[in-house]
């Protein structure tokens, strides 16, 4: 994919713009997995069914977390995903999502991975917010470790993850996590979405919902759109070698 060493603020970094041949992401397929679903909490037996995550068996999914005031992670994930989808479509991408509403159940995490694999997405993002200790703040990029199916996309996923990390710092109010991972990164070998991917993919924990300051940001429509724009910037850079116009 992009191996062009373009710095975010380099004077040689020309913004990508729609040329005479069309939009910047024309012909590209982008996968988005908004974690959990709005009715997951209604069916514990569905959630505890066992699925293969590429290494071992695990639960189909969880309910996800929520803020102290009850704003759910599932709603946050879906709102950011739909904001991101709108931007990507304007840029000419075909967008595949693992769920198309927030009032359903599932699909299970293995099925989510397969939906994006079967779509032959060029790159995918799993969108989440964390349920960490209430004192903790910040975002974390979760990157895959080799598990077989994903062996060929580890390096590209790490590169994409670095673009997500850079865009989050530049274009959102969030800093790197002060309670999880290291400098805003962690490698995980126990997640179906990362173990079972055949395209470059990372999972982003955008912030920590139980933390009051992060919660105020995560529930803000303005900040949600900033997050979507940051994710879009990382995707455009990964697929084209350039940051999109308008990113800082
Ligand atoms: Zn989650």
Count of domains observed in the chain: 1
* Whether the bond into 107 is cis, omega within 30 of 0: yes
Tell the residue number behind the tokens 């994903």, with chain if given. 150
32: phi then psi, degrees, rounded to nearest 5: -130, 125
DSSP letters along 87-129, please?
Answer: HHHHTT-EEEES-S-SSS----HHHHHHHHHHTT-SEEEEEEE
d(CA 132, CA 130): 6
Residue 130 lies in a domain: yes
Q: Find the 73 Cα to ligand 1 centroid distance in Å.
A: 7
Asked whether residue 10 is assigned to any structural domain, the reply reads no
Question: The tokens 């397969």 sit on which residue?
Answer: 114
Question: Considering the domain boundaries, does residue 19 fall inside one?
Answer: no
As a whole number of angstroms, the distance between CA 191 and CA 181 comes to 15
Across the chain, which distance is largest between two alpha carbons, in Å?
Answer: 55
- What is the per-residue pLDDT for 245? 80
Distance 206 CA to ligand 1 centre (A): 10
Per-residue pLDDT, 2: 42
In a domain, 182, yes or no: yes
Is the Cβ–Cβ distance between 67 and 131 less than 8 Å?
Answer: no
- The whole-angstrom separation of Cα 64 and Cα 149 is 26
35 CA to centre of ligand 1 in angstroms: 5
- Whether 207 maps to a domain, the answer reads yes
Q: Choosing from 73, 91, 166, 205, which is the catalytic residue?
A: 205
Cβ atoms of 54 and 153 closer than 8 Å: no
**How far is the centre of ligand 1, averaged over its atoms, from the C-alpha of 174 (Å)?**
17
36: in domain: yes
Task: Compute the distance from residue 8 Cα to the ligand 1 centre, in Å.
Answer: 29
Report the C-alpha gap between 2 and 175 in whole angstroms.
Answer: 25
Which parts of the chain sit beneath pLDDT 70?
1-21, 247-248
Q: What is the pTM of this model?
A: 0.91
User: Residue 22 has what pLDDT?
Assistant: 77
Asked whether residue 102 is domain-assigned, the answer is yes
What is the C-alpha separation between 162 and 110, in angstroms, rounded?
A: 25
Compute, in angstroms, the gap from residue 5 CA to the centroid of ligand 1. Answer: 32
pLDDT of residue 213: 98
The 10 Å Cβ neighbour count of residue 63 is 19
The boundaries of the domain holding residue 92 are: 24-240
Asked if 166 is an active-site residue, the reply is no
Residue 247: the pLDDT is 67
Instruction: Provide the pLDDT for residue 152.
Output: 98
**CATH number of the domain to which 102 belongs:** 3.40.630.40
The predicted pLDDT at position 248 comes to 54
| In a domain? residue 219 | yes
How far, in Å, is the centroid of ligand 1 from the Cα of 33? 10
């Amino acid at each position: 994919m992009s191996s062009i060493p373009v710095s975010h603020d380099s004077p040689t970094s020309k913004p990508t713009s729609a040329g005479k041949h069309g939009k910047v992401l024309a012909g590209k397929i982008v996968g988005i997995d908004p974690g959990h679903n709005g009715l997951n909490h209604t069916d514990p037996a569905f959630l505890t069914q066992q699925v293969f995550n590429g290494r071992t068996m695990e639960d189909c999914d969880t309910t996800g977390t929520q803020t102290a005031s009850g704003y759910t992670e599932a709603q946050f994930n879906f709102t950011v995903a739909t904001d991101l989808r709108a931007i990507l479509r304007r840029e000419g991408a075909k967008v595949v999502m693992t769920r198309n509403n927030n009032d359903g159940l599932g699909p299970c995490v293995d099925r989510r991975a397969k939906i994006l694999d079967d779509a032959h997405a060029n790159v995918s993002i799993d969108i989440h917010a964390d349920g960490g200790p209430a004192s903790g703040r910040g975002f974390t990029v979760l990157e895959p470790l080799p598990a077989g199916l994903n062996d060929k996309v580890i390096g590209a996923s790490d590169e994409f993850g670095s673009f997500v990390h850079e865009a989050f710092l530049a274009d959102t109010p969030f800093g790197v996590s002060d309670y999880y991972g290291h400098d805003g990164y962690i490698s995980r070998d126990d997640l179906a979405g990362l173990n079972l991917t055949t395209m470059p993919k990372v999972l982003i924990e955008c912030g920590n919902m139980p933390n009051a300051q992060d919660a105020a940001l995560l529930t803000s429509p303005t900040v949600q759109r900033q997050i979507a724009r940051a994710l879009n910037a990382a995707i455009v850079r990964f697929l084209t070698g350039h940051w999109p116009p308008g990113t800082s």
